[in-house]
Amino acid sequence: MHDIRAPLNSLLQKNSSCNMTKQCDAAFCKLKSIISSELLLKHYDPAMPIIVAADASAYGLGAVFSHQFPDASEKAVMHAARTLTPAEKKYSQIEKEALALVFAVRRFHKFLYGRRLTLLTDHKPLLVIFESKSGIPAHSANCLQRWALALLGYDFDIQYRHTQQFGQADAFIVALDHNHTIHKAEYEIT
């Protein structure tokens, strides 16, 4: 943000003339769009309903911890993303998507444990595996059973959301996908 603000900061200097240049105008518009963006974080409120969305790609995992407001809008409280290890890159897509959910719940554990929450995924087969009412399917892969057991300690509903309506968790994965040379395994934006 500091780099974006630089042209506007120059206007605040002592003995500077107040000339709004094209650079200043562009910086102002960019800051305005960032502040009004869906990616802007809100403060955690223990009284608000919790939604955790997680998604996976060929290179990384992304997660968003958000609140659902009375007008049914969702606002992010925290984002997290990490790249996949070489072994995890070999997982099937369902395993990557399940890993993304487990990553999200573990990352936001301090906020989620003991609270009712909604998990969102864009991978329909996970609904059957992680739905607490149906139990863990006996014929699923061992790692999926292990991850389903790890999630049993949380009070959650799991819901499907179409990929085209699943932007927040996807946004951080796209950033990882475009830069495959990231050396640090985990990133958290709070």
146 and 68 belong to one structural domain: yes
79 and 8 belong to one structural domain: no
Return the closest-CA partner of residue 129 out of 154, 108, 147, 103. Answer: 147
Return the closest-CA partner of residue 131 out of 102, 146, 115, 151. Answer: 151
13 and 68 belong to one structural domain: no
| The pLDDT of residue 181 | 45
Q: Whole-prediction pTM value?
A: 0.73
Residue 90 DSSP code: G
Q: Hey, CA dihedral for 179, 183, 185, 190, is it positive or negative?
A: negative
69 and 163 belong to one structural domain: yes
27 and 93 belong to one structural domain: no
Q: Hey, CA dihedral for 10, 12, 13, 17, is it positive or negative?
A: positive
22 and 56 belong to one structural domain: no
The boundaries of the domain holding residue 138 are: 50-189
Per-residue pLDDT of the chain (190 residues), as tens digits, is 667 778 877 777 777 777 778 888 898 888 888 777 766 788 999 999 999 999 998 888 999 999 999 998 888 899 888 889 999 999 999 999 999 999 999 999 999 999 999 999 999 988 888 876 666 666 677 888 888 888 888 999 999 988 776 666 665 555 555 555 444 445 455 4
Q: How far apart are CA 40 and CA 76, in angstroms?
A: 7
Whether 109 is in a domain gets the answer yes
142 and 170 belong to one structural domain: yes
Q: How far apart are CA 100 and CA 103, in angstroms?
A: 5
Q: How many helices (H) and strands (E) does the chain have?
A: 7, 6
Beta-carbon count within 10 A of 167 CB: 15
Give the count of domains, the chain: 2
Q: Which residues are paired to 189 by β-bridges?
A: 79
163 and 116 belong to one structural domain: yes
Whether 40 is in a domain gets the answer no
| The pLDDT of residue 6 | 80
Whether 151 is in a domain gets the answer yes
15 and 92 belong to one structural domain: no
28 and 59 belong to one structural domain: no
123 and 163 belong to one structural domain: yes
